[in-house]
């Protein structure tokens, strides 16, 4: 469910017409719904009522600090994968003791910062990282409470580029070696292993892979406890899918029922790290039709949004619905079209042979389900400024990230001293 619906012939975000945002902020622009964010978080968290469960929003899905704060105000913690995301979570008001730090390649500096601010837990993903963390914690005279992420070798049946739980994926420690690694971790002076963590992939639409992975984790916890390692927590990750193109992913209640069935008797605190499920359908990318182009064999709808703004279709064939902001009439002429952007790449194609009504130049359209892995993966390719982000609440909206300017892009760059008269490496100049 989301809060982007037609009203009196126009598409609204909650109680704000998208035409108003386009007029006042311009396009392209990301638009997020507070009501949808709140509803999705609440539905997920409530599914685990009666269990010792904590929800840590996966910041990588949408890292705008206003989005993080919206969820933190409801009680969400944060799952971060870099020092930058950790700083975002803190800036949004997430308490350090409600932050977990995941990621396969943490640096010494990132580990040191995490220890300095006192986050709840660091999820270790390799033996080398374990040794590094022990050394950094020793330098600071502290003991790091950790999870060890294990790879259960389960096929999540999702896209290859978002699969994380198979042996050939880079994430986690092979589950067959987990007991030995936990034993070693327990022997280290400045490490306290208390959690088994796992995450098998993203955009899962079937509960069977979860059942297989969780069953293996339950067996592992039994082995670890038999070996004298006191496991207090089980971090089951995120990955629950959303309906991009007619998929019917499991509802949180069904997912929670599976968790209760498989791990309910373990006597552990449960951690969950949903991202896409919370933010995905809470956002759209609002764009404008520049013009239609008709070739001998193709109809092209050329937008002012491009692959640098929304890269999912180019990166891994991600599907996004496209809605005209002006509701089409019942007798509209719908014909196949390729939806493309202005970037100088053939890959700058959002969809092919999509049935769409005819558009006039300047007409507004909205890419649906764009709240996750949209703005966070945007770039300035072709020196296209990063687009703004807007958060709607009822009949109000606020710009929560302004549109980047050309002055900001060029002003961040420098000439080397041999290209300047004064040798000062002055900023690149830009004319307005």
Which residues are catalytic, by number? 344
143: left (phi over 0), alpha (psi -120 to 50) or beta: beta
DSSP 8-state code for residue 243:
-
Alpha helices, H only, 33-107? 34-46, 65-72, 83-91
Query: Under 8 Å CB-to-CB from 202, ≥6 apart: which residues?
Result: 156, 158, 162, 164, 238, 239, 241, 275, 276
Query: Under 8 Å CB-to-CB from 375, ≥6 apart: which residues?
Result: 30, 62, 64, 283, 386, 387, 389, 401
Question: Reduced to 3 states, what is the DSSP secondary structure of residue 298?
Answer: coil
Closest listed residue to residue 270, CA positions, set 224, 233, 239, 217? 233
Pairing of strands 364-367, 77-80: unpaired
Bridge partners of 355, per DSSP, are: 336
Question: Reduced to 3 states, what is the DSSP secondary structure of residue 326?
Answer: strand
Question: Reduced to 3 states, what is the DSSP secondary structure of residue 226?
Answer: helix
CB-side neighbour CA atoms (13 Å) of 242: 27
Exposed / middle / buried, residue 345 (Cβ in 10 Å: 0-12, 13-18, 19+): middle
Exposed / middle / buried, residue 294 (Cβ in 10 Å: 0-12, 13-18, 19+): exposed
Query: Under 8 Å CB-to-CB from 331, ≥6 apart: which residues?
Result: none
- Return the structure tokens found at 351: 């969809």
Question: In which element (H, E) is residue 30 found?
Answer: strand 29-33
**109: phi then psi, degrees, rounded to nearest 5:** -65, -40
Closest listed residue to residue 371, CA positions, set 65, 61, 94? 61
Bridge partners of 58, per DSSP, are: 79
Pairwise CA distance, residues 358 & 333, whole Å = 6
Q: How far is CA 55 from CA 47, 209, 273, in A?
A: 11, 21, 6
Question: Reduced to 3 states, what is the DSSP secondary structure of residue 396?
Answer: strand
């Amino acid at each position: 469910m989301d809060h982007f619906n037609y009203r009196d012939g126009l598409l609204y975000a909650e109680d704000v017409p998208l035409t108003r945002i386009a007029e006042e902020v311009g396009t392209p622009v990301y638009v997020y719904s507070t009501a949808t964010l709140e509803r999705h978080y609440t539905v997920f968290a409530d599914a685990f009522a009666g269990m010792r469960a904590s929800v840590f929003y996966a910041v990588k899905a949408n890292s705008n600090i206003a989005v993080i704060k919206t969820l933190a105000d409801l009680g969400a913690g944060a799952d971060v994968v870099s020092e930058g995301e950790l700083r975002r979570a803190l800036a949004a008001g997430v308490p350090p003791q409600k932050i977990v730090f995941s990621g396969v390649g943490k640096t010494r500096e990132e580990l040191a910062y995490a220890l300095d601010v006192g986050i709840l837990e660091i999820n270790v993903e390799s033996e080398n990282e374990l040794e590094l963390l022990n050394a950094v914690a020793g330098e600071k005279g502290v003991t790091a409470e950790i999870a060890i992420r294990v790879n259960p070798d389960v096929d999540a049946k999702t896209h290859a580029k978002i699969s994380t739980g198979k042996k050939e994926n880079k994430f986690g420690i092979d589950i067959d070696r987990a007991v030995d690694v936990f034993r070693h971790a327990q022997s280290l002076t400045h490490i306290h292993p208390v959690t088994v963590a796992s995450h098998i992939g993203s955009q899962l639409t079937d509960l069977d892979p979860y059942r297989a992975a969780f069953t293996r984790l339950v067996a592992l916890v039994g082995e670890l406890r038999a070996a004298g390692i006191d496991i207090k927590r089980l971090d089951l990750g995120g990955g629950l899918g959303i309906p991009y193109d007619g998929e019917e992913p499991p509802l949180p209640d069904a997912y929670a029922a599976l968790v209760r069935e498989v791990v309910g008797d373990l006597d552990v605190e449960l951690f969950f790290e949903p991202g896409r499920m919370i933010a995905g359908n809470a956002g759209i990318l609002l764009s404008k039709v520049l013009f239609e182009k008709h070739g001998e064999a193709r109809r092209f709808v050329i937008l002012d949004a491009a692959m640098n703004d929304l890269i999912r279709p180019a990166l891994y064939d991600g599907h996004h619905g496209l809605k005209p902001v002006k509701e089409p009439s019942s007798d509209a002429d719908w014909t196949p079209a390729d939806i493309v952007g202005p970037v100088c790449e053939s890959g700058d194609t959002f969809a092919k042979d999509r049935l769409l009504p005819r558009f006039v130049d300047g007409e507004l359209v909205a890419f649906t389900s764009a709240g996750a892995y949209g703005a966070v993966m945007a770039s300035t390719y072709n020196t296209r400024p990063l687009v703004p982000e807007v958060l709607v609440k009822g009949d109000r909206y606020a710009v929560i990230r302004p549109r980047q300017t050309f002055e900001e892009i060029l002003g961040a760059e420098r000439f080397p001293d041999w290209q300047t008269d004064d040798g000062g490496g002055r900023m690149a100049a830009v004319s307005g």
